[in-house]
Amino acid sequence: MVVVELLLFLAALGAVAFYALYQIVTQVKELRFYRRNGGDFSQDSGLDKTEEWMTAFRPLLGNWPRLYLFRPTVIVVLFLLMAAKIASLF
């Protein structure tokens, strides 16, 4: 039973870690996209497919709030979730 619990814990922790890594990679790609375009936020990078997939509706975020507010907040929350999961072991 302990082995099953440990496997489930590691699977959940791995899923959160991979999603955090995906969000970091997407953030870097989006930063590069907008820097290449001279900071023109009127163009959409098209990298917000995960946010659309996870929600029932398209988030009502513009390009710059998604880049500077939403995704960094998601990354911080994911790291806090990982820290809480690791702290729950002790």
What per-residue confidence (pLDDT) applies to 47?
77
Q: Which residues of 10-40 are buried (b: 16+ CB within 10 A; e: fewer)?
A: eeeeeeeeebbeebeebbeebeebbeeeeee
Q: Is the pLDDT score of 75 beyond 90?
A: yes
| pTM score above 0.75 | yes
Q: DSSP code of 37? A: T
Reported confidence tier of residue 58, pLDDT bands at 50, 70, 90: low
Number of Cα atoms under 13 Å in the Cβ half of residue 35: 6
In this predicted structure, what is the pLDDT of residue 66? 85
Pick 46 or 31 by higher pLDDT. Answer: 31
DSSP H stretches of helix in 37-70? 49-54, 63-65
* Confidence class for position 43, pLDDT limits 50, 70, 90: confident
Give mean pLDDT, residues 2-28: 94
Question: Is the Cβ–Cβ distance between 20 and 79 less than 8 Å?
Answer: yes
